[in-house]
């Protein structure tokens, strides 16, 4: 299969022909992948109207939550990803588990849309083989190469959003802005409302797992982040304003997952309903591809710095991490039996916990390494970025506090396993039970390939980066960096 190690080096340290000249992600494919990491279109936001007691809180939520949550997370991702343009991103078991749980949603949702046209998919004898077939087919597309996934995401994004452009144009003559102001606080379901908002606006940091696959990351990443933020917010607000502004306000309680298809029927007719249903199915495919790509490259990045056995960094002849992709696909199949609401609550809790550690690591890095080379830097000082992280951190704590007892128990087991995994990996290294890469995280030294950046066609060795990696190797970092 032409496997190579994740460093792109052959047995004697020479460049592997399978990695030489491998296509890199440019701005447009990266925007599409970030869009699908976070959104994929307005599918799934309908419940915000029902749980918010009307359109007002839903619209305010998608206006304010990006300011409080999405933009801070996106900008932090841009700074850290350009600072360390390597695969893996926010390494850690908790974040990977959250991503794998999230990815289990999309084959299920894909079949849920198909069952309206193929009722046989209601029966397990047909549904289980179909679930396996969809997962295997989409996994194979990931295996074939990241550039294929990137451009596929561009096409899927265009197809997913076009019916809502048509719906918005048709809704204009029927719009009554006063309908946007409707809210009944007695009907607000705060737990469902916050979970829906959080789920629809998170995972901006997923793109950081692909930093090593991005063309000129110091320029490409910030541009792609800004473009994706604008695209996601517009893809939520515009259809929501069109639907709630054009339809009778008495139908607020009918807004739930999948209701945009009915909105399309009422505004445009059967043809628009079918188009939205088809777009929903294709969107779920795009979401699956983007999520699996990020999850697989996260495991690859963890392997390359010695946090997982070297086998997870093996690449196929297409440059994709084969074992990591298979591992992510297995997680999807094992988790797909959970209900939609269970999946969202579990993944939100684990993701929120991981983000608290990510914010803490970001602030700590600003304090400990102020001179670290940052091709993109949030234009705030240390105190400023600390205040910058407070609002999203408070939102995270709020979302976690609304979780059920079962979510606390299941998440607690995963958290405990994460704490035990680190000493377990170190013990496996000592006993030589598996092959690990000799990296700054395990050897006390540093690799010339990690702190070297490309700037104006010259390789510049960043001494602060070296120092940071040496500190981590010597154990000066606290549990935030080890157990996450």
Residue 475 inside a domain? The answer is no
Q: Residue 382 and residue 363: Cα distance in Å, rounded?
A: 7
Residue 187 inside a domain? The answer is yes
Residue 163 inside a domain? The answer is yes
Query: Is the pLDDT score of 442 beyond 80?
Result: no
Q: Which residue has the tokens 């440059």?
A: 319
Residue 21 inside a domain? The answer is no
**Domain boundaries, position 325:** 27-431
* Cα dihedral 360, 60, 235, 43 sign: positive
Q: Which residue has the tokens 């550690």?
A: 357
Give pLDDT tens digits for 92-110. 677 787 777 788 777 777 7
Model pLDDT, residue 150: 61
Model pLDDT, residue 89: 56
Q: Residue 197 and residue 48: Cα distance in Å, rounded?
A: 7
Of these ranges, 121-135, 209-223, 329-343, the one predicted with the greatest mean pLDDT is 121-135
Model pLDDT, residue 86: 64
Question: Cβ of 449: how many Cβ atoms within 10 Å?
Answer: 12
Domain count for the chain, please give it: 1
Residue 464 inside a domain? The answer is no
Query: Is the pLDDT score of 37 beyond 90?
Result: no
* Cα dihedral 300, 304, 307, 311 sign: positive
The pTM for the full model equals 0.73
Average pLDDT for the chain: 78
Left if phi > 0, otherwise alpha if psi is -120 to 50, otherwise beta: which for 432? left
**Between the CA atoms of 46, 48, 52 and 54, what dihedral angle is there, to the nearest 10 degrees?**
-30
Annotate 36-77 with DSSP letters as a single string: HHHTSSSTT-THHHHHTTSHHHHHHHHHHHIIIIIHHHHHHH
Residue 437 inside a domain? The answer is no
Model pLDDT, residue 149: 59
Asked if residues 473 and 426 have their Cβ atoms less than 8 Å apart, the reply is: no
Backbone angles phi, psi at 321, to 5 degrees: -80, 95
Model pLDDT, residue 25: 76
Query: Is the pLDDT score of 456 beyond 70?
Result: no
What CATH number corresponds to the domain at position 334?
1.20.1740.10
User: Within 402-462, where are the H helices?
Assistant: 405-431, 440-443
């Amino acid at each position: 299969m032409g496997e190579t190690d994740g460093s792109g080096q052959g047995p004697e340290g020479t460049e592997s022909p399978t990695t030489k000249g491998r296509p890199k992600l440019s701005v447009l494919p990266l925007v599409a992948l970030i869009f699908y990491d976070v959104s994929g279109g307005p599918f799934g936001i309908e419940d915000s109207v029902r749980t918010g007691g009307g359109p007002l809180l839903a619209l305010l939520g998608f206006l304010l939550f990006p300011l409080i949550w999405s933009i801070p997370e996106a900008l932090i991702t841009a700074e850290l990803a350009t600072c360390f343009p390597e695969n893996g991103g926010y390494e850690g078991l908790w974040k990977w588990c959250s991503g794998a749980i999230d990815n289990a949603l999309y084959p299920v949702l894909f079949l849920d849309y198909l069952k309206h046209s193929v009722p046989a998919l209601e029966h397990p004898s047909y549904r289980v083989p179909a679930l396996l077939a969809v997962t295997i087919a989409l996994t194979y597309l990931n295996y074939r190469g990241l550039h294929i996934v990137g451009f596929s995401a561009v096409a899927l994004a265009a197809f997913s959003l076009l019916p809502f452009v048509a719906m918005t144009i048709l809704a204009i003559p029927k719009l009554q802005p006063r309908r946007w102001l409707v809210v009944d606080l007695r009907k607000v379901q705060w737990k469902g409302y916050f979970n829906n908002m959080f789920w629809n606006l998170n995972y901006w940091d997923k793109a950081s797992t692909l930093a090593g696959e991005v063309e000129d990351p110091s320029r490409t990443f910030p541009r792609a982040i800004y473009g994706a933020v604008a695209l996601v917010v517009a893809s939520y607000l515009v259809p929501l304003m069109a639907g709630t502004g054009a339809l009778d306000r008495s139908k607020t309680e009918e807004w739930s997952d999948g209701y945009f298809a009915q909105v399309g029927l009422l505004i445009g007719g059967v043809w628009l309903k079918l188009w939205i249903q088809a777009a929903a199915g294709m969107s779920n495919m795009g979401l699956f591809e983007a999520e699996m790509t990020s999850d697989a490259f996260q495991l690859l990045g963890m392997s390359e710095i010695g946090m997982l056995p070297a086998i997870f960094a093996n690449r196929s002849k297409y440059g994709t991490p084969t074992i990591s992709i298979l591992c992510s696909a297995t997680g999807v199949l094992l988790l797909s039996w959970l209900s939609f609401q269970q999946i969202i609550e579990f993944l939100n809790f684990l993701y929120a916990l991981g983000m608290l550690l990510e914010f803490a690591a970001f602030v700590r890095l600003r304090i400990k390494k102020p001179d670290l080379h940052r091709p993109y830097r949030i234009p705030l000082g240390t105190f400023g970025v600390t205040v910058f992280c407070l609002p999203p951190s408070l939102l995270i704590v709020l979302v976690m506090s609304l979780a059920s007892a079962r979510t606390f128990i299941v998440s607690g087991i995963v958290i405990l396993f994460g704490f035990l995994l680190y000493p377990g990996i170190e013990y496996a290294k000592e006993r030589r039970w598996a092959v690990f890469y000799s990296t700054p995280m395990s050897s006390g030294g540093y690799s010339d390939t990690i702190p070297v950046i490309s700037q104006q066609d010259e390789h510049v060795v960043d001494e602060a980066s070296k120092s940071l990696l040496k500190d981590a190797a010597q154990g000066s970092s606290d549990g935030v960096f080890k157990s996450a």
